[in-house]
Structure 1
């Protein structure tokens, strides 16, 4: 059985067990970068992050800070009880592509209206994702898109044995 015991954060760290449910949306001025096939396809200081109990933050990037020509809209969609229906992009650069590697909300719920058309990326499908120069680790599993950095403490939902949380 996976241990879901909250790890006590040190100064300067956040515990995902202190994040709210339902999730909260907040602005961040941290420097967010996404690299795919040696191209910085996203670079911003204007991201928003979604914080939800047991999940590392998911960063949403404004379209103006993304090289949109590397995103191809896909027919795939999913539903979030908090944010609404998500649409997906395949990320494409040169001969390299990752299908359904990024998503956005074209018509989010009222509470998440500020992320309309902002794009989130699965870090495990990109070459590298950075928060203030630190390379992130993907949230365990391949369903959620959280970004784990040294200032975020778990344990995190998503890995084997955590689906029942």
Structure 2
């Protein structure tokens, strides 16, 4: 198996082909630690994430709201729509 190495995080990631992802999308539990940083400030930190795999789309990671520092985010006036997830708010 080939791997990509992210030097900033030193995590080995398997190479995936988005054309192999299913339709309708698959939902996978992610128990590995997911952290979101902005200029060394932790915005989100969880071991309770989810990953959505949809044909021809990069994987999308979801972090539960209770693991996000919501006070660091500003809600956008924009929304997005997906046939599977429906209307979503953006931050």
TM-score, scaled relative to structure 2: 0.76
Q: Aligned equivalents of 1:19 and 1:26: distance in 2?
A: 12
Which of residues 75, 78, 83 is equivalent to 1:76? 78
Which of 59, 62, 73 is equivalent to 1:60? 62
- CA distance in 2: counterparts of 1:23 and 1:86, whole angstroms: 17
> Counterparts of 1:67 and 1:73 in 2: how far apart (Å)?
13
User: Aligned partners of 1:13, 1:77: CA distance in 2, in Å?
Assistant: 31
TM-score, normalization: structure 1?
0.45
CA–CA distance in structure 2, aligned partners of residues 82 and 62 of structure 1: 18
Partner Cα separation in structure 2 for residue 26 and residue 15 of structure 1: 16
For 1:74 and 1:32, how far apart are their aligned partners in 2?
23
Map Cα deviations across residues 2-44 of structure 1 (whole Å, 9 max, x no partner). Answer: xxxxxxxx36543222210121112111211111132011111
Partner of 1:23: 25
Unpaired runs of 5+ residues, structure 1, are 1-9, 90-165
Structure 2: runs of 5+ lacking an equivalent: 3-13
Matched residue, 1:51: 53
Report the RMSD for the aligned CA atoms in angstroms: 1.6
- TM-superposed deviation, 1:65: 1.0
